[in-house]
Structure 1
Amino acid sequence: MSAPLYQLKAEFFKTLGHPARIRVLELLSEREHAVSEMLPKVGIEPAHLSQQLAVLRRANLVVTRREGVSVHYSLASPRVAELLRVAREILSGVLADQAKLLGDLHAEQ
């Protein structure tokens, strides 16, 4: 018996639940990157970046292309970039609401 859709969604969001993975996906939303290009932008050790890229590969969120000794990564689907954009919009709204609430609290004092 296959897993319910809500369980698969939870696993999907768990995959996205690491700051380094989100940063990698943000970079790849712009364009394809070689691993060596991502290292300084993600700011983690090479072995750790490799682990995070492996998680994203297993989840079919990124694909690879070899060019000589370099491995280049890109998004498996442009919908991943769209998901990150929507998440940013949601967070912007939440933060704007919190800022308004904080402003209201300060105004009451």
Structure 2
Amino acid sequence: MFPAENLRDWSGQKVIDPDGDKVGELEAVYVDTSTDEPAFVTVKVGLLGKRLVFVPVDGATVTPNAVRVRYPKKLVHEAPSIDPDGELTGAEEPKVFAHYDLPYTATTVGERRLGRR
């Protein structure tokens, strides 16, 4: 396994948890707008991938057939989600970070911290 450096190339691939359980399918990458570095991915979960949940990419690795995240499937499935056609609002951002016990620092007024790439 090696660090997941260019996650954009893995769109549509399987996402697994530390135990190798399938979490879902990688849909998109969200970057931290202050650094332009990948911060979260959205993963299609549920019947027919009708929900997109947010998963931090910190510590993610790539195997020959999947992206392995460091969070267990159950925690990921309970994460804040959006509809496949939805958008993460600025008001929802802190909830995504809080779900994974990650620190959240707001940007200037009116700006979001996460941006989809």
Q: TM-score range by the shorter chain?
A: under 0.3
- TM-score with structure 2 setting the length: 0.24
Considering fraction of residues, name the structure with more strand.
Answer: 2
Larger Rg belongs to: 1
More helix by share: 1
